[in-house]
Structure 1
């Protein structure tokens, strides 16, 4: 059974896209003004009937504006395929014409949030290296249209006016699938400290947004008194502070579990036609097609818990512009075992065997610099603790903190290394986590040697490899070895004829 889909003429997305556009616009409005509505509700008994009518009328007019605007966005959003270009016309007042060559597209993303799933449509995003956001986002397409569009863009074949035939074939078995049991292992071994920091930041941000509401409920002076007393109690009792941190840590662990299950639920990873296909998500389902030649380098990371379970995660680094956050162009695969890692590296690199390659460690100055930085941190922490807590439990804190810092220094020095072959470089690092970055030398955009005045006296330098996906640093190596590596990388870059974008 097949469906003939023609993209040679301008087409619109599904009419259901009006609901998606309206919902997104309403969410953005509510995100910025929900505090105003909360204040209105708390003061509803004090507002006159005339003011209430004006308020409700404003809401009705706002909803009407959202619907009209969304329909105009839908009507003016038209796209087609012209040769090897995706062409888009959009805009309500300011009209825009956009044409993107297929070879500029890094990946094609399918996604379905709850609204998409309810009305049975897909959002399709086309991402390129040079944009600080998604280049083109089609809010609502049927599954057959979305698959046909993805097939055309990823195949890179020119069709002119020919039609794309989407045939239903037997599904290939994915290279990696994550069931609930495996996902639980991933959740247990996550970085819960990061979740704790995010939770604390969220609580501070939430309080700042609702501070005015609390003032209306209990009064500004009473609120200040409560906060002052709470602060004195918390800072005056070290035990209470520890209890609060433990409770927040428990919430952070639970948050990590929820985040992993929502993001990576039902994850499957396949390799098709030298491209990677990743599907995952529970509430917000995503399917990503990542072209092999668009991957700049990969980073494989594990930690003690993951190592015990025999799993790692892989981050595919893509080209980014200067305006893009590095995390925005990363695609992460969790729960990878050794055979999965070998298959990924085999697909990306012609050779990746480093078993017989010498592991090169940084100069001893690298260790000295890390020890000095941690000593300064320890001195600052002790000074801060002495003035805030009057030196209470100072000795016990140092007995706990010094071994932890010593272990962290040892781990970082041990895990920092690099290995270089004729075509590939492997850079290791980490403290608690262990990371290995694989980079093909011909993809280096710029290589430079960077020295401080202290390094210059010891005849050592840092090497900075600038790639389209960011910088990779090799710290504190001798000038003799740095010059050899510098010249070799420049030679590989200048003589290579391979495409890396």
Structure 2
């Protein structure tokens, strides 16, 4: 591998200009797609078409000039004297980003389809403690990207420890993994078939009504199926086709997003690589993962398919941000990953469950639509069949009660010497693990209507987000709170 002198300002690969230009065009199309669709569905005069063509040519020329300027303005280098990585970019205004080596969390690789075609890599430098969460260099050759990654991680490591053997340096790519697991296409197809494909249906419906409203296509895209009753055969066929299309979208989305998913376990890191449209490679160290979540549903559990959600340390107070999702894993791989991140065995000793008033509150809140429906049926009996509406609402109440009962039965908090584990969910069943020494603080909320009964809601705060647990007796959880506060204050372990 050739050596590069990153102490001098470097530019991206020359072929990366194609990537910059294509990215600019992509953002233009994304923002102006409504105008493009308008020209496709409406008849326009030749004069309008000519003016539009001239406008497109001007936009393409200006985009090319902007891309060339952005390419030459984009520079980066390693400043050994000030112990930081420096990146300069900007066309109309110059933006200089200085990332101290100690603030670098990890260096990841990304490649979309265009980057694969033109043979370049994208380097993403994740940082901590700054508004600029990520620093990205989008067009580097493979050798240059690998060497930059290794140098940055070595410099970061030298800030943390004084002596480290060569085979323990993070970021090296020539090590042999302890174990390797790959999720194949058949497994991804099973995941797509057993996932919630109503999201795909929602995408279709949203796109349909967006076209209808934006371009006033009420006649072309009617809101109802003509000459069919709601319970007619045509409507049922339409709903079935809609569900099949939604299933196809969900399967395609799953395969594209997680294609060629690989897990490699090294001595100091877990490497995750996945993606067809955007290929991402992330190296996870044990101290970066704050929350460990296992998700499955009954169908996927029957197929031995589980999804891991690893929440990383972040300044964002949201579990969905800075989260790595790894689906399609069997139980033995889940155990292997858990053993890597948790040096202590998870032994569950005590279980806390919400007070029964939580179940009554959820059922009573769900009753509000039923009450409104009954009132509407009573006052508009001429337009609505009171018996028919009453039957539907009775079924709704039964389903509501059964659903909330099983949701309540599933919700529990496990407490051991070193771990908190929250169990929740009926269809999507979740287990959220957090080591006690990683907790930042604990919040106690007590609404006025809880005070007389001595009930509280608890929120456990970590650097990767919050875990909330509702309606517990203060007399039962006070010893736990005291113990957790003691663990937070007395631990000497590095939580990040």
TM exceeding 0.5: yes
User: Which residue is equivalent to 1:453?
Assistant: 448
- 1:254 positional shift: 1.2
Tell me how far 1:129 sits from its aligned partner. 4.7
Instruction: Give the distance between the partners of 1:307 and 1:44, measured in 2 at CA.
Output: 53
Aligned residues of 1:320 and 1:326 also touching (Cα < 8 A) = no
Corresponding residue number in structure 2 for 1:373: 365
The verdict on how the C-alpha distance between 1:205 and 1:499 changes in structure 2, with shifts beyond 3 A counting, is farther
Listed one character per residue, the Cα deviations across residues 183-232 of structure 1 (whole Å, up to 9, x for unaligned) are 222222212233333443333334444x25x4xxxxxxxx369747x389
Deviation at 1:149, TM superposition (A): 2.2
1:66 matched to which residue of 2?
63
- 308, 324, 331: which one aligns with 2:302: 308
Q: Which moved more, 1:441-450 or 1:33-42?
A: 33-42
Q: Give, in angstroms, the shift of residue 75 of structure 1.
A: 1.0
Q: Does the Cα contact within 8 Å between 2:269 and 2:283 map onto a contact in 1? A: yes
Counterpart in the other structure of 1:361: 353
Contact 1:13/1:140 (<8 A) preserved: yes
Alpha-carbon distance, 1:359 to partner: 2.0
Report the CA distance shift for 1:168/1:460 in structure 2 as closer, same or farther (over 3 A). closer
Superposition pairs for residues 93-492 of structure 1, below 5 Å? 93-129=92-128, 135-155=134-154, 156-158=156-158, 169=174, 172=177, 174-209=179-214, 211-212=215-216, 214=217, 223=218, 227=222, 230=224, 237-239=230-232, 243-322=237-316, 326-355=319-348, 357-380=349-372, 390=385, 393-394=388-389, 397-398=392-393, 400-492=395-487
**Structure 2 CA distance, aligned partners of 1:415 and 1:381?**
30
In structure 1, the partner of 2:34 is 35
Structure 2: gaps spanning 5 or more residues: 160-168
**Secondary structure at the counterpart of residue 32 of structure 2:** helix
State the shift of 1:330 in Å.
1.2
Do the aligned partners of 1:306 and 1:312 also contact (CA within 8 Å) in 2?
yes
Residues 380 and 316 from structure 1, CA distance in 2 versus in 1: closer, same or farther, beyond 3 angstroms? farther
Structure 2 length-normalised TM: 0.87
Instruction: Provide the C-alpha distance between the structure 1 equivalents of 2:355 and 2:102, rounded to a whole number of angstroms.
Output: 42
Q: What's the offset of the Cα at 1:127?
A: 2.7
Deviations 1:400-422 (A, max 9, x none): 53443333213211211111223
- Whether contact under 8 Å (1:352, 1:424) holds in the other structure is no
Once the two structures are overlaid, the 10-residue window that deviates more, 270-279 or 16-25, is: 270-279
Secondary structure, counterpart of 2:153 in structure 1: helix
Q: Using a 3 Å threshold, how does the CA distance of structure 1 residues 52 and 341 change in structure 2: closer, same or farther?
A: closer
| Aligned-pair CA distance for 1:260 | 0.7
Q: Give 3-state SS (helix, strand or coil) of 1:117's partner.
A: helix
Shift of 1:120: 0.9
Q: Which moved more, 1:59-68 or 1:94-103?
A: 94-103
Q: Which moved more, 1:126-135 or 1:367-376?
A: 126-135
Which range moves more in the overlay, 394-403 or 287-296?
Answer: 394-403
Post-superposition offset of 1:352: 3.4
Of 491, 494, 497, the match for 2:492: 497
Cα RMSD of the aligned pairs, angstroms, is 3.0
Larger fraction in helix: 1
Separation in structure 2 between the aligned mates of residue 143 and residue 339 of structure 1, nearest angstrom: 34
Structure with the bigger RCO (C-alpha within 8 Å, sep 6+) is: 1
Show structure 1 runs of 5+ residues with no match.
215-222
Is the 8 Å Cα contact of residues 441 and 488 (structure 2) preserved in structure 1?
no
Mean alpha-carbon deviation: is it higher for 276-285 or for 98-107? 98-107
> CA deviation digits over 1:239-298, x for unaligned, max 9?
466554433222211111111110111111122242221111123222122332121211
| Greater CA drift, 296-305 or 378-387 | 378-387
Q: 1:347 deviation in Å? A: 1.7
What is aligned with 1:220? none
Q: Distance in 1 between matches of 2:377 and 2:195?
A: 30
Q: Does the 8 Å contact 1:296/1:319 carry over to 2? A: yes
- CA shift digits 1:370-426 (9 cap, x unpaired): 222222244345667887865584355346534433332132112111112232211
Query: Does the 8 Å CA contact 1:464/1:471 hold for their aligned counterparts?
Result: yes
3-state DSSP of counterpart to 2:291: strand
Structure 1 residues 12-35: Cα deviation after superposition (integer angstroms, max 9, x where no partner): 111122111111111111122233
Corresponding residue pairs, total: 479
Partners of 2:260 and 2:275 within 8 A in 1? yes
Aligned-partner Cα distance in 2 for 1:90–1:158: 28
